[in-house]
Amino acid sequence: MKRISIDTGPSSTALPLLSEPALLPLTRAYAYLRLAGVASPAAAAAMARLQSRFADAGPLDPDVWWRELAADPVWSDRRTIVVRAPPALGRRKCSNDDDPA
Amino acid sequence: MTTLLKRGVGWQARARWRRCLFLACLVGSVTAAGWAMREVLPYHGAKPVEVVILTLFCLLFAGINAGFWIALYGFVLRCRGGDPLSPLRRIPTQELQATGLAPTAILFPIYHEEIERSFAGLRATYRSLAATGELAHFEFFVLSDSRDPEIWLAEREAWFKMCDELGAHGRIHYRRRSLNVKRKPGNIGDFLARWGERYRYMVVLDADSVMTGAALVRLVQLMEQSPEVAILQTAPKLINAQTLHARVQQFGASLYGPLFLVGLAALQLGEAAFWGHNAVLRVAPFRRHGRLPQLRGWGLFRGSVLSHDFVEAALLRRAGYEIWLEPGIDGSYEEAPPTLVDELARDRRWVKGNLQHIAFLFGRGFSAAHRMTFLHGIMNYGSALLWLVFLAAVTLETALLVLLPVEYFPEPHLPYPLWPEWRPDWALALVSVTLLVLFLPKLLALLEVLWDSERRRAMGGAPRVATSVFVEILVSALLAPIRMLAHARFVVAALVGAQVSWAGQNRTRETPWLAAWIRQAPGTALALAWSGFAWWLDVRFFLWSLPVAVPLVFAAPISVGLSRYRAGLALRRRGWLLTPEESMPPRVLRELEDQRKVGGDRLSGFPRAVLLPLSNALHRQLARKRRATPLRAQRRARLVTACSRSGPGALSAAEKGFLAEDADALAELHRLVWAQPPGTPWGQLIEAVLLTPVPLPDAAASRESCGRRSPL
C-alpha cells in the first residue's frame, strides 16, 4: 500500500486524498477521529498503526476500518459529550401541552 | 418592603385625571374636525352617503388624533424630565441598587427561526448578564416549538455549542415540545407547568430580542420593590436594520418612539399592555390568573387566542395586579421585519389576533384601560378597512355629483331648494389641521433631537437628521396606502374565517421582483382602475386620488426597492437614517454583531446528526428513551435501511424526526453511513465534509464528568 503523509495541522480536516481509492478508508478514519475531537498527533499516530496493520492486506472492506478503529487505543481519546440534565421538575400537575395554571 | 402604591399619591387618581383630560382633548378635536368636514361636504351631511363619509372621517380622525395627543403629552413630560409616576422615578436609585435579586428564568421561545441570529442574541444577553456579576440568580430556557427536524436538530447543536463557549452547561437549558399545542402561550405554559415553581420571575424574550444584563437586573429589582406589579414591560429599541425598509422603521422608532412611549406609559400607568416579550413577569400570579380562555364562538372567535399578550395583561389586572410600561429602562432591543412582505406576513397574524379581542371588549371585570387597549388594537387594523370604505364613499359622492343632475328639491314640499355648496376655505383649514395632526409629533421629535447635542451627534448631525426625517416621511407616505389595502384584505379574510399559518419570520431575504408583482398585482389593478375612473370623472378628483393611487400603482417596485440591503447600507454609510445604537453601539450590540458574522454550517441538521461524531453523540443523548414495541422496531429498521442506502433526501420530515428522536436508530445510522462507498449519497456527503474545512472542537474542552455522559 502506498504510504500517505497526513496533515497534522490543527485547523482543518480537509484532506486532498480522495482521488486515491485505496487510501479512502484511512482518510475516513483520520477525518472521523478529528471530527470526534481527537487531537491531530494522536489521530496521525493511530493512522500509522492502522496503515502498518493493513500494509499487506488487499482492498479493505468498508466495515473493516471501522472495527479496527474501534479496537484502537485512540478510540478512547474521542471527546465525551456531556449534557447537563435540566433542573428537576417542579410539582407538575399538567401534561405537556396544558395551559399555564 | 416599600411598594409603588405607598409612594406619594396613588396612581389611580392621577390616571383618571390624565385620561379624562386626554378624552376631552380627543373628543373636542374630533368634534371640531367633524364639524369642519360637515361644512366641506357639498350637502353638509344631508345625504346618506355624506353621513357615511362624515362618520368614517370622525372615526379615522380619532385614530390619528389619539396618537397626536399621546405624543404631545409625551413631549411635555419629557421636557419636564419624564413622568414622576414612572416606576423608575418613584423608587430612589440608591434604594433600587441595594435591592437583592430573586430566582429568575429567562425564556427564549423559538419556532423555525434563523438559528445563528437567534442564538447570537441569547449569547450576547448571557455575556452581558455575566458581566454584571449577578448571573447566579438567572437561568435561561430555550423553548423550541420547531417541527422541522432539520431545524430543531440544528437548534440543539447551536445550544450545546453556545453552552460550551460560555461555560453555561446547567445554566442554559434547551427544551423542545413534540406537540406545539396553543403555539407560544402553550410553550410558555409548558415551561410554567414544569419549572414555574422554581422561579419568582420570568423574562420573556423573542427570537430577535437582546437585553443587557443591567436592564435584566434592574427589571428584577423593580419587581422586588413592587409586589403588586405582575408585569413590567420595557420599550425595546429596534436594532440591526439593514434593508431600506427596516432602516426607515428603525429610524422612525428611534426618533418618534420616545415621545409616544412616554405619553402612552403616562396615560396607562398601572394598566399598561403586555407586548409578549422583553418584559419581566411575576410567575405565581401569571400561573394563577394568566390562563387564556379557549374561544368557543364561531369562525374567528373559535379556538386559541392568537394575540395572547394583551389578554394576559387584562386578566392579571382583573385579578388586582398592576402592569407597567417603563420606557426609561435602556438596554432592551428587538429587530424590525426586513421587508414589507415580512411586515405584512406578521400583520396578517396580528390582524386575526387583534380582531379576536372583540370577544374580550365587553368581557366581565376588565379595566376600562384594557378595554381601550383592545379597542386600539382592533382599530389599528380595522381603520384600514374604514379608510378603504371612506375612499369608496367619497368616490361615490363625486360620481353622483358629476354624473347625476343636481336635484334642488329632493323632497316635494321643501320650502327652499337644496343645492351643493363648496367651501374651499373650510377644506383648506381641514387639510391644514390634518397635516398638523400628522406631522407635529414628528416635528416635535425632530426639535427634541436637535436640542439634545449628544443625541443629535449620535444620529448623524442636524442636516442628516433633517434629511432622514424627510426620507422617513416620504417612505411612510408611500407605504400607507399599500399597508391600508393589505390590512383591509386581512381584516376581511379574518372576518370570513380564512386560516392563518404560523411560521417563523424571514429575517434575511430580499423580495424578488416576480413575487412582488404577483403579490401587489390586485392593488395595482385596483388603483389603476380607480384613478382612471377619477380622471374620467373630474381632473380635480383625479389629482385628489393620486397620493393613494400612485403608491398602489408602484407597490411592487416600492416593495422590492425597500427590501434591498444595498440601498439601506448605502444610506447608513452616508450617515442617513442613523440611530444612536448604530453610531455608539453598546457592548451587548457589538458582541451581537460579531456573533452574526460567524458563518453557519454547510451540512443541515439531519445529515450532521447522522454523520458527525460529536453531533451524533449529542443527539443520541437528547433523544427520547422509548419503549421498543415490535411495530416501532420494524419501522425503525425500514427507515434506517432506506436512509443509509438512499441518503437523507429519501426521507420525509416526519421520518427524519422519527429517526432523530431514537437514540438506537441514530447510533446504527452513524455506523452504517461511514461505511458507505464514495459514490453513494452518504459517501458524497462524507467527501463534502472531508473537502470542507470543518472547525474542530477543542478536544479537551468538556472532559468533565457531570450530568449525563455518553461515549461515542
Q: For B437-477, what is each residue's pLDDT tens digit?
A: 999 999 999 999 999 999 999 999 999 999 999 999 999 99
- A12·B185 Cβ contact <8 A: no
pLDDT at residue B2, as a whole number = 44
**Residues B66-85: what's their mean pLDDT?**
95
Strands (E), B310-380: 322-326, 332-335
pLDDT at residue B399, as a whole number = 94
Most B CBs within 10 A among A19, A83, A84, hence the mutation to make, goes to A83
What is the DSSP-derived secondary structure letter of residue B646? H
Residue A67 in contact with partner chain B when CB distance is under 8 A: no
Q: What long-range pairs does B476-479 form, CB within 8 A, spacing at least 24?
A: B476/B248, B476/B252, B477/B547, B477/B551, B478/B551, B478/B554, B478/B558, B479/B340, B479/B551, B479/B558, B479/B562
| pLDDT tens-digit readout, B242-281 | 999 999 999 999 999 999 999 999 999 999 999 999 999 9
Question: Closest approach of chain B CAs to the CA of A95, in angstroms?
Answer: 8
pLDDT at residue A3, as a whole number = 38
| pLDDT tens-digit readout, B473-532 | 999 999 999 999 999 999 999 988 766 555 555 555 788 999 999 999 999 999 999 999
**Residues B67-95: what's their mean pLDDT?**
93
Name the CA dihedral angle for B543, B547, B549, B551, rounded to a multiple of 10 degrees: 150
pLDDT at residue B53, as a whole number = 96
- A18·B617 Cβ contact <8 A: no
If residue A33 lies in a helix (H) or strand (E), which one and from where to where? helix A24-35
Alpha-carbon distances of B318 from B292, B321, B365, B368, rounded to whole Å: 13, 7, 6, 10
| pLDDT tens-digit readout, B195-220 | 999 999 999 999 999 999 999 999 99
Identify all chain A residues contacting B685, using CB atoms and an 8 Å cutoff: none
Question: Closest approach of chain A CAs to the CA of B490, in angstroms?
Answer: 28
Could you tell me which chain A residue has the CA closest to the CA of B684? A18
| pLDDT tens-digit readout, A31-61 | 888 889 898 889 888 888 887 777 666 666 6
Question: Closest approach of chain B CAs to the CA of A23, in angstroms?
Answer: 12
Identify all chain B residues contacting A92, using CB atoms and an 8 Å cutoff: 193-194
Q: How high is the mean pLDDT of chain B?
A: 89
Residue A27 in contact with partner chain B when CB distance is under 8 A: yes
Q: Which of B192, B621, B710 sits opposite A100 (nearest CB)?
A: B192
- A79·B621 Cβ contact <8 A: no
pLDDT at residue B444, as a whole number = 96
pLDDT at residue A24, as a whole number = 65
pLDDT at residue B279, as a whole number = 97
B605 closest CA partner among B49, B117, B115, B200: B115
Q: Which of B186, B290, B693 sits opposite A13 (nearest CB)?
A: B693
- Of all residues in chain B, the percent with pLDDT exceeding 70 is 93
Instruction: Report the predicted TM-score, pTM, of the whole model to 2 decimal places.
Output: 0.88
pLDDT at residue B508, as a whole number = 59
User: For B686, how many CA atoms within 13 A lie in the half-sphere containing its CB?
Assistant: 29
Enumerate residues 74 to 93 of chain A having a beta carbon within 8 A of any beta carbon in chain B: 77-87, 89-93
Q: Which of A28, A90, A95 sits opposite B198 (nearest CB)?
A: A90
| pLDDT tens-digit readout, A8-31 | 444 444 444 444 455 567 778 888
| B696 has pLDDT over 70 | no
